Amino acid sequence: MQELVVVGAGPYGLSIASHAAAAGLQPRVFGRPMAAWRDGMPPGMFLKSEPWASNLSDPEGVYGLAAYAATQGVEAKHGVPLPVGIFASYGLWFADRAAPPVEERTVTAVRPRAGGGFEVTADDGAGGVGETFLARTVVLAVGVRPFTDIPGPLRALPPEQVSHSVDHADLTRFKGQDVTVVGAGQAALETATLLAEQGTTVRVVARSHRLNWNTLPPPLSRPFGEAARAPHTGLGCGWKNWLYARTPGAFRRLPAPTRTRVFTSALGPAGAWWLRERFERTVGVRFGESVAAAVPDGGRVRLDLVSARGSVDTVTTDHVIAATGFTPRLDRLGLLDGRLRRSLRTVGPSGAPETDAVFETSHPGLFVTGLLSAPSFGPSMRFVLGATYTSGRVVRGVRRRLGTGTGHVHPGEPRETLPVGTAPTDWMERF
């Protein structure tokens, strides 16, 4: 029986595997390393986060993004956007040096086992029968793809006419076409900009009546008064963001309705400061509208767009890209046994699993991380910055469940690797 299975090989899965191996465990890690950045972001995209705050977590803190950039002759500078391709390559570099080997196979089922532990099934990577084995603990680090949101009126369209923003590693298939992008966040705005810059006719449909744009981050070194009024954090400047970024454990102790409200309202859609000029000179926006109906029409799509006042206008387009975010509901996690899913305690009506201080769900031995843990621990878990807080604590929880460690979480651990002269904070990761 395996001690630990980590499902997912993105920043959370790789960071947890690194900490687990350093703690003497022998985890099996499944997934395509850095798949979200390699398979869901086309060339030309940049990190929304500052490079100094986009580190994966290893116990010694020596495999940060800056260390990788130095090996490539690239300077990871504050205030200078970094291509997502470099970040994806960094994750692969981290996996080679700081984590145990990753099995590039998909876990298709996790079922509880009588007497404790789990029965795990993974495909063979080639469409065959695959392998079923036993595991004492399982960590779900599945990223965001299982939780994509597509507006109801678009769901009946065939896949050649509608997709989510995470479905595209290459936008060139849309050259010469007409594309409608639904959404008002970074994914929508950057996708639309790249489409327009390659010659695609593109429009953005936004329910809001204006777009929000982040501003140029202030220098890392600032006068004390400025830093005190608006400290740097992993979620932008300001004390509210500081609390979200630095105190996930305190967030977990808030009442479930409060956590749900903050999770759904904090850090709303916004575009990166460096994208604004490019976007505004190339892309048109239909403000205050949402999709009321979508019907195939002679190989194209006819969209009925309704305004806040109730008026309806019709647009015909070749393809619709929904950049409409993600909802971490357990009922979207098909790999998890249905009875197990339904038995888990949730954060109020959110449909997301409730966890303890070490990310263990109400089912012994099952841990969740990343977006799935955000309604428990707060907005920072939606981004790469949460991997540092998460990884050491999950491994303590696993060791406690296995009986190989105390599982105590020591205040202030693990420490984050930060640029010299900065406060102990992070910056936001995109997607």
Q: Which two tokens stand for residue 189?
A: 């705005």
Report the b/e string of 25-44 with b at 16+ CB within 10 A: bebbbbbebbbbbbebbbee
Which pLDDT tens digit goes with each residue over 40-90? Answer: 999 999 999 888 889 999 999 999 999 999 999 988 888 889 999 999 999
Which pLDDT tens digit goes with each residue over 48-60? Answer: 988 888 999 999 9
- Amino acid at residue number 18: S
Taking residue 151's Cβ as centre, other Cβ atoms within 10 Å add up to: 18
- Amino acid at residue number 50: E
Which residues on adjacent β-strands are paired with residue 271?
Answer: 213
Architecture in CATH for domain 2-147+326-402 = 3-Layer(bba) Sandwich (3.50)
pLDDT band at residue 232, thresholds of 50, 70 and 90? confident
**Residue partners of 379: CB distance under 8 A and separation at least 6:** 235, 244, 262, 263, 266, 267
Judge contact between 304 and 290, C-beta under 8 A: no
Judge contact between 369 and 381, C-beta under 8 A: yes
Domain 152-213+270-322 has CATH 3.50.50.60: yes
Judge contact between 35 and 10, C-beta under 8 A: yes
Residue among 396, 387, 61 at smallest CA distance from 248? 387
Residue among 136, 184, 175, 155 at smallest CA distance from 2? 136
Which residue carries 């420490």 as its tokens? 415
| The pLDDT of residue 416 is above 90 | no
φ, ψ of residue 241 in degrees (nearest 5): -65, -35
CA distance 136 to 428: 34
Location of each CATH 3.50.50.60 domain in the chain: 2-147+326-402, 152-213+270-322
Q: Is 380 helix (H, G, I), strand (E, B) or coil?
A: helix
Pairing of strands 319-322, 178-182: parallel
Which pLDDT tens digit goes with each residue over 361-411? Answer: 999 999 999 999 999 999 999 999 999 999 999 999 999 999 976 544 433
φ, ψ of residue 98 in degrees (nearest 5): -115, -5
| The pLDDT of residue 351 is above 70 | yes
Q: Is the dihedral of CA 59, 62, 63, 65 positive or negative?
A: positive
Q: What is the largest CA-CA distance in the chain?
A: 64
| The pLDDT of residue 429 is above 70 | no
Taking residue 115's Cβ as centre, other Cβ atoms within 10 Å add up to: 5
